[in-house]
A and B are shown apart, each in its own frame.
Chain A
Amino acid sequence: MHASPLTIRDLSVAYQKKPVLQGVTFTVPEGKLIGIVGPNGAGKSTLIKAALGLIPRLSGDVSIYGKPYAAQRKLVGYVPQRESVDWDFPTNALDVVTMGRYGHLGWFKRPGSAERKIAMECLAKVGMEAYADRQISQLSGGQQQRIFLARALAQDAKLYFMDEPFVGVDAATEKAIVTLLNELKKQGKTVLVVHHDLATVKEYFDWVMLLNVNLIEFGPTEMTFTADNLQRTYGGRLTMLDRDTSSTLIMNGR
């Protein structure tokens, strides 16, 4: 049997007492771009972090291509939120991208010219090769996001997790990310993206996951991303402007 890129069974996570995720179960199809959508505090980032074992889970079981994550690390790429690191770190763009190769390098070994070549190619894929030597604090927010994407590309994974890659980036970067996502899809890779902009969900993603502590709905975008399902996810805090499609949405108070 062909194992799915990611299967999660009965995942629950809690910070302190309050559950952030409860009984989440799903199986991800291969080669799809998947958007994870839900209100603030719905556990979107938590889902990714728990799947990667970055935070402890209360219960649940994660398997990646049929095996536990610990055995499949090299198949997984991760793009954390940009704000999760201090960009005033003494290093340059190329060096950060090279970090994507560390998992393949093993202990003690220093990255050499082969790793730098891969990193350079990944920088080129996000249109940042001209900035290879730039100190990372000298980059704009969008450029920093692209560096993180290039680092994930350097991991040469089959399954990617991206935590809000579209937040606070300029239009050029947004376009670069979308092009990149489609290229990954063309190579048969699976990408899960935490996303906050409902207006672009239909345009960017094949599948969508609606999440609000519980898994509300998960399936192909055209069937799942309906006004009805969104109302259930956001608890009636949305106003639909467009009658025919649900492409125009307004958040109604937070």
Chain B
Amino acid sequence: MSDWLNILQDPNVQWILFGCMLLGLSSGVIGSFAYLRKQSLMGDALSHAALPGVCIAFMLSGSKSIALFLVGAAAAGLAATFGIGYITRHTRIKQDSALAIVLTVFFGLGIVLLTQIQHSGNGNQSGLDKFLFGQAASMLLSDVRIMAVISLFLIGVCTLLFKEFKLLSFDPGFARGIGYPVAFMDQLIMFLIVVAVVVGIQAVGVVLMAALLITPAVSARYWTEKLGLMVVLAGAFGALSGLVGTFISANGNNLPTGPLTVLVATSLFVVSVVAAPRRGVLSKLLLRAYVRNKLRGEQEKSVLQAERKETTV
């Protein structure tokens, strides 16, 4: 126990924990909209597509700068969404298959590039392989600062455009009818997902980033019927997952952060599925039992009444 507390007192660890918490928060928030717009897999495709973008950004610049990675990942994400859109529109292939094709191509390309970089002998490349599954411990204070700024930007945009994003998620046709630039806002949400992916690339890695986008949102949906509360809850679940996952990872056993964070997020999800009021499994079982008993009680009562009538007659 004292070991844990010692770790917590390390300012470096405090920063990293803070960064991962912000990451979980922002990905939970934007993930809520992705989930409600039925774009859960899009998050997966975008995070896998980010890998070649980041690799190319590194190859061209030779430096590990988050800003350049963001540009690379955004360009790759744009190419991926365009590819998916093009395949869906111009062939008979449905969106799920198009997603699978594009996702794997980009990820394959990313792995090839990543391997190429590792063999190139560039001294600066160490740590790039951690982009697959994340290693929060390798983050520097400067990384955390940039993560914090980007996360706040993301949460700020979602707060300002909450009303617009809500309508876009619920009824895009109506949104277009009243003059919202729906195509632009679609792209904006995609871009925000890419932003979340890039923020998470060091801490969680591209492979499992989608889980941090979607799982907190799905868990939050179980607890509430209000979008505002759902977004806040998803952010909180994400933040908690990031915090606990990073903490276990930083606790010295050198486990990658991404898988641990995902496992924490999934535990929260399981708790939500079982225990959530109204939508949860447990509550549904209880409700059914209650209704059954009530029904039986009423039937018995009516039978009794009928018997009583007979006896009086």
Mask of B163-185 contacts with A, CB within 8 angstroms, 1/0: 11011011101101111000000
| B266 part of interface (Cβ distance < 8 Å) | no
| Most-contacted residue by chain A among B162, B178, B227 (CB, 10 A) | B178
| Most-contacted residue by chain A among B38, B160, B161, B171 (CB, 10 A) | B171
**Interface range, A side:** 20 to 34
Residue of B nearest to A161 (CB): B177
Mask of B149-169 contacts with A, CB within 8 angstroms, 1/0: 000000000001111101101
Contacts A85-B171, A91-B170 given; indicate if A78 touches B163 (C-beta within 8 A). Answer: no
Label chain B's interface by main secondary structure. helix
Q: Please name all residues of chain A whose beta carbon is closer than 8 Å to the beta carbon of B166 when the two chains form the complex.
A: 91, 99
Interface residues of chain B, those whose CB is within 8 Å of chain A, are 36, 38, 160-164, 166-167, 169-171, 173-174, 176-179, 221, 224-227, 230
**What separation, in Å, do the CA atoms of A53 and B164 have in the docked complex?**
19
Residues 41 to 86 of chain A near chain B (Cβ within 8 Å): 49, 52-54, 70, 73, 76, 78, 80, 84-86
Q: Can you sample 19 A-B contacts with CB below 8 Å?
A: A53-B176, A73-B178, A78-B173, A78-B174, A78-B177, A80-B174, A84-B171, A85-B170, A85-B171, A90-B36, A90-B226, A90-B230, A91-B166, A96-B170, A99-B174, A102-B178, A107-B161, A107-B164, A155-B178
Residue of B nearest to A108 (CB): B160
Contacts A73-B178, A92-B225, A102-B178 given; indicate if A54 touches B173 (C-beta within 8 A). Answer: yes
**What separation, in Å, do the CA atoms of A85 and B177 have in the docked complex?**
14
Q: Please name all residues of chain A whose beta carbon is closer than 8 Å to the beta carbon of B178 when the two chains form the complex.
A: 73, 78, 102-103, 155
**What separation, in Å, do the CA atoms of A103 and B177 have in the docked complex?**
9
Q: Please name all residues of chain B whose beta carbon is closer than 8 Å to the beta carbon of A214 when the two chains form the complex.
A: none
**What separation, in Å, do the CA atoms of A135 and B178 have in the docked complex?**
24
Q: Please name all residues of chain B whose beta carbon is closer than 8 Å to the beta carbon of A80 when the two chains form the complex.
A: 171, 173-174
Contacts A70-B179, A108-B161, A110-B163 given; indicate if A89 touches B173 (C-beta within 8 A). Answer: no
Residue of B nearest to A151 (CB): B174
Q: By the criterion CB–CB under 8 Å, are B177 and A54 in contact?
A: yes
| A105 part of interface (Cβ distance < 8 Å) | yes
| A236 part of interface (Cβ distance < 8 Å) | no
Residue of B nearest to A73 (CB): B179
Q: Please name all residues of chain A whose beta carbon is closer than 8 Å to the beta carbon of B171 when the two chains form the complex.
A: 80, 84-85, 99
Mask of A83-121 contacts with B, CB within 8 angstroms, 1/0: 011100111100010010011010111110000000000
Residue of A nearest to B224 (CB): A90
Give which listed residue, B36, B161, B174, B176, contacts A89 with CB less than 8 A.
Answer: B36
